[in-house]
Structure 1
Amino acid sequence: MSVVVLGTGMHPWGKWGRPFAEYGVAAAREALRDAGVDWRDVGFAVGAATIRNGYPGFVAGATYARALGWSGARIASCYAACASGAQAIDIARTRILAGLCDVALVVGADATPKGFFTPVGGDRPDDPDWLRFRLLGATNPAYFGLYARRRMALYGSTPEDFAAVKVKNALAGSLNPLARYRKPVTAEEVLASPMVADPLRLMDICATSDGGAALVLASAAYARRRGVSGAVRLAAVSTVTPVFPSTVLELPEFATDSSVAVPPPERPFRAALAHAAYEEAGIGPREVSFAEVYDLSTALELDWVEDVGLCPPGEAGKLLRSGDTALGGRVPVNPSGGLASFGEAIPAQAIAQVCELTRQLRGRAGARQVEGARVGLAVNQGLFGHGSAVVATR
């Protein structure tokens, strides 16, 4: 048995100032229309939770089911930081594979506050996330900057390399009607933007955004009964956890006395996520046609390109400069425009990545279409051991 994507839907990213459920419901209805499926035919609905939008955000599955109309469908809600959407996909896919339903709806949406993310829930001295901000002063851009500095020290990457990532992704985003930022930029504009966390400037770092995304998943047998042929297949979903001595915060070179005494794992966490998906799908990185990677910063995109095996360590800059990761290149990276063009809407973003995989593999991506796309990879990572990799094929 296999699971296919019957429909995709998204609410455009931006700062709209409306309740998150509006974005999720709009995306869900679009996905249902795309699939040609009535909401009452959905046997299972799972909502990726948002923790910044009150109780309805925590019980997102019920929030969306109620808004769409109580139908008796089974529901679930899940939260896994930046991998929330992929965990929701995994839950729905697993239920279909188990034969417990034929059709499932996956929805994620967020309404974000102004500025960078802050801890949720007040003072919590037993919470590592709260401690990260209060004791280390490590806002998200701070550790993005640490990763960038490490890359510069190890591989000689430069601010000009980071700016080139933004230029590439902004060009792709300018072709995506769902993106928040739809204007090409120059390297000079990136390098002239305000410094936020040295060496990263404002245009090196993704924004926080409102947005929504949804998928209708089904068993391949159900798709065949509906006369659907050539549907995009979810070949793998990886949600593996780190292997000790990976640390809770996953900051570069952050270690304890106990962890430094233990040999490092065979693969770093991000690489392990991708390779577990490759193994499940029965492919290797050479077969990837394009990839959606989690560009929280321009420097992190270069790390991801290496971690998922598109090139050896230290050579992502060379791949970038040769044009291989641009639209029209050998293996385009972030043809959607990435987070550089969308910003973070945490419960929706991994689902949005799979929406892009599906559109590309269907050949419906318009001006940003990857020619001959047959295998797409989507990867992301959150703190506390959460992350995901999804392989989709046609």
Structure 2
Amino acid sequence: MTGEVAVLGAGMHPWGKWGRGFVEYGTRAAREALADAGLEWGAVQSVVGADTVRGGYPGYVAGATFARALGSQGTRVTSVYAACASGAQAIDTARAQILAGMAEVVLVVGADAAPKGFFAPAGGDRPDDPDWLRFRVLGATNPAYFALYARRRMALYGDTVDDFAQVKVKNSAAGAANPYARYRRRVTTREVAASPVVADPLRLLDICATSDGGAALVLSSMDAARRHGVADPVRIRAVAAVTPRYPRTELDLPDIASDSAAAVAEPAAGFRASLAQGAYEEAGIGPEDLSLAEVYDLSTALELEWYEDLGLCGTGEAAKLLRDGATALGGRLPVNASGGLASFGEAVPAQAVAQVCELTWQLRGRAGERQVPDARVGVTANQGLFGHGSAVVAVR
């Protein structure tokens, strides 16, 4: 175990399509996190910003951008980019600074102003990037990519389009109770089925939107938390980040990376499972210890993949776990009690930070109508482009 840091404050800017700049969203989230921590901006010794590639130069130096927006006071700044894993790796950077004694109070901020439609490659031609090649050579945009996962699950495990729709129904019920969610309305399986097909078998309501939003955390050393009068804070106990292991490479989809026989063979454990295992080992826990999980539901079918990768059930058993109600609010182990990306949409550098905000509120017992009873341990998980990801374990 490498050490724990305290979560003193959590804050968010509501998700939506607001038509304003990412700096405004991140600054509001930061101020909410500072207020939640009971601290003034001057108490912050370091700012770690999760970068956005859509925000021009300010987006590439997000740490400095947010520090300037909050008021230049000489704080250390760091900027982190890891695609959809940016927020969690920003948390890991902040944790490392605290554990190394470089700072006692660190502010982590992620925010984005996303375009309409699905994300296209940014930053020009990148022929050395497998994800750029996936878009440009295969024509496999993200919805098509998600549909391949869904088709594989249907072929291997017998998952159905109704199973996928039930994930959306579950997450919309949780999102309806979350004031920060973009979509706050319950949907039915009939509504999912009636939505347009985007990439067969996935329909519009099976796939998350792109959104504007921001999230922030105030992290500190345990000593600083105690001096601040917080005797039992939520604690970050582990942050794991891994890349794939050969032969499961960046795409992590054997049925498009090799011959067609792979599509009907039992897939080997991929890097997402290794990611979860790394987080569990560092935290000294197992999936049996979890109270809840926040996972990266870019599509409904992908959420089911995470159940298995996190060890919540055996391979091919995710749909049964869902059908039994285990992952819904009130179930044995709620997944995406926040409403997930199904309810928020993607605001790329903010979403992994937002996941930890949700764990913080849940572990404090302050999640309102979506509260998981007696929550003590939570895990987050997400996957970034170019084949890497992150997982965070928080405890109380």
Q: 2:169 aligns with which of 167, 170, 182?
A: 167
1:59-113 deviation digits (Å, cap 9, x = unpaired)? 1011000001111111110110100000000000011011111100000000011
Distance in 2 (CA, whole Å) between partners of 1:305 and 1:203 is 20
Partner of residue 364, structure 2? 362
Query: SS where residue 255 of structure 2 aligns?
Result: coil
Q: Is the 8 A contact 1:44 1:74 kept in 2?
A: yes
Partner of residue 344, structure 1? 346
Distance in 1 (CA, whole Å) between partners of 2:163 and 2:352 is 26
- In structure 2, do the counterparts of structure 1 residues 167 and 265 end up closer, same or farther at CA, with 3 Å as the change threshold? closer
Q: 2:59 aligns with which of 57, 72, 81?
A: 57
* Partner AA of 2:358 in structure 1: E
Distance in 2 (CA, whole Å) between partners of 1:125 and 1:332 is 40
Q: Is the 8 A contact 2:4 2:238 kept in 1?
A: no
* Partner AA of 1:360 in structure 2: Q
1:319-351 deviation digits (Å, cap 9, x = unpaired)? 111111100000001000000000000000000
Query: SS where residue 92 of structure 1 aligns?
Result: helix
Partner of residue 272, structure 1? 274
Q: Tell me whether 130-139 or 158-167 shows the greater mean CA deviation.
A: 130-139
Distance in 1 (CA, whole Å) between partners of 2:326 and 2:138 is 38
The alpha carbon displacement at 1:250 in A equals 2.8
1:228 equivalent to 2:230? Answer: yes
1:38 equivalent to 2:37? Answer: no
Superposed, 1:193-212 pairs within 5 Å as 193-212=195-214
Partner of residue 71, structure 2? 69
Partner of residue 377, structure 2? 375
Distance in 2 (CA, whole Å) between partners of 1:312 and 1:248 is 23
Partner of residue 27, structure 1? 29
Partner of residue 155, structure 1? 157
Query: SS where residue 196 of structure 1 aligns?
Result: strand
Query: SS where residue 375 of structure 2 aligns?
Result: coil
Normalised by the length of structure 2, the TM-score is: 0.96
Distance in 2 (CA, whole Å) between partners of 1:386 and 1:111 is 23
* Partner AA of 1:41 in structure 2: A
Partner of residue 135, structure 2? 133
1:255-306 deviation digits (Å, cap 9, x = unpaired)? 369xx9xxx9973111111110000010100000010011000000011001
* Partner AA of 1:191 in structure 2: A
Which structure 1 segments of 5+ residues have no match? none
The alpha carbon displacement at 1:3 in A equals 0.3
Partner of residue 297, structure 1? 299
Normalised by the length of structure 1, the TM-score is: 0.96
Count of paired positions: 389
Partner of residue 97, structure 1? 99
Distance in 1 (CA, whole Å) between partners of 2:18 and 2:277 is 37
* Partner AA of 2:176 in structure 1: S
* Partner AA of 2:22 in structure 1: F
* Partner AA of 2:184 in structure 1: R
Identity of aligned residues (%): 72
RMSD: 1.5
Distance in 2 (CA, whole Å) between partners of 1:100 and 1:375 is 28
Query: SS where residue 253 of structure 1 aligns?
Result: helix
- In structure 2, do the counterparts of structure 1 residues 227 and 322 end up closer, same or farther at CA, with 3 Å as the change threshold? same
Q: Is the 8 A contact 1:250 1:383 kept in 2?
A: no
Distance in 2 (CA, whole Å) between partners of 1:4 and 1:217 is 6
1:219-245 deviation digits (Å, cap 9, x = unpaired)? 011111111121001011001221111
Distance in 2 (CA, whole Å) between partners of 1:226 and 1:265 is 49
* Partner AA of 1:70 in structure 2: S
The alpha carbon displacement at 1:316 in A equals 1.1
